[in-house]
Amino acid sequence: MQILTAVVVVVVAYFLGTFPSAAIVAGKKNLDITKVGSGNPGASNVIRNLGWKIGLAVFLLDMAKAALAVGLAWRVTGNRHDELSYLCLFAAILGHSYPVTRKFKGGKGVASGGGGMYVLFPLTSLVLFSSWFVLTKVTHKASVASLTISIALPFGIYYEGAEAWEIAATLALVGFIIVKHLPNLRRLKTHQEPDLI
């Protein structure tokens, strides 16, 4: 595969990640999601302000754009577990979290990361996807659910047969998500983290 082709695919993956799911869906309800609640243009903030049904639509759209990015890499290489798949996954998450189209102000990458990982490791992803909803119902904290399933991800893909370098790449993804959630962790510590509905 030519380097130019790989670069183009990664750039396309980034711009797929910039698709403003939360802004579009919330905008249909005449709501600027960046100006309410946490201001985060992600599924959790949409759920808090517009309910589970609309928030789930955002969640699925955010998953879909990263899944498409990884699927594109798979199509190009013919190998789902190629390095390009992970580059496209990271590019899509960066596009979601730091979209050049919205002054680099985006979401935290949990749903989009989950969508990309679904293409790579469907069984683990389905279990963690379901666990997210259970954990939010039990703890009422989206951040707790998101961090828990993120930390569990490398263990899940290990049991699903991931290679060592894939686990290392996934650990980097987990580190990114933890960093994005540092404000949430500070609010959890001070009991100021808002509940999910």
pLDDT digits (tens, 9 = 90+) for 51-65: 999 999 999 999 999
Alpha helices in the chain (DSSP H): 3-17, 21-27, 43-50, 52-77, 83-97, 110-120, 122-139, 142-159, 164-180, 182-189
In a domain, 136, yes or no: yes
DSSP single-letter state for residue 101:
G
For residue 50, being part of any structural domain is answered with yes
Task: Please indicate, yes or no, if residue 197 is contained in any of the structural domains.
Answer: no
Candidates 83, 82, 115; CA nearest to 16 is 115
- Closest Cα to residue 45, out of 188, 185, 195? 195
Domain count, the chain: 1
The rounded distance, in Å, linking the Cα atoms of 181 and 176 is 9
102: in domain: yes
On whether residue 195 sits in a domain, the answer given is no
pLDDT in tens, the chain (197 residues): 688 999 999 999 999 999 999 999 999 999 999 999 888 888 999 999 999 999 999 999 999 999 999 999 999 999 999 999 999 999 999 999 999 998 999 999 999 999 999 999 999 999 999 999 999 999 999 999 999 999 999 999 999 999 999 999 999 999 999 999 999 999 999 999 988 87
Q: Given this model, what pLDDT does residue 92 score?
A: 98
- Whole-structure pTM value: 0.93
| 46 within a domain of the structure (yes/no) | yes
Burial class (CB in 10 A: 0-12, 13-18, 19+), 83: middle
Is there a domain that residue 37 lies in?
yes
Residue 196 lies in a domain: no
**Which structural domain range is residue 7 located in?**
3-189
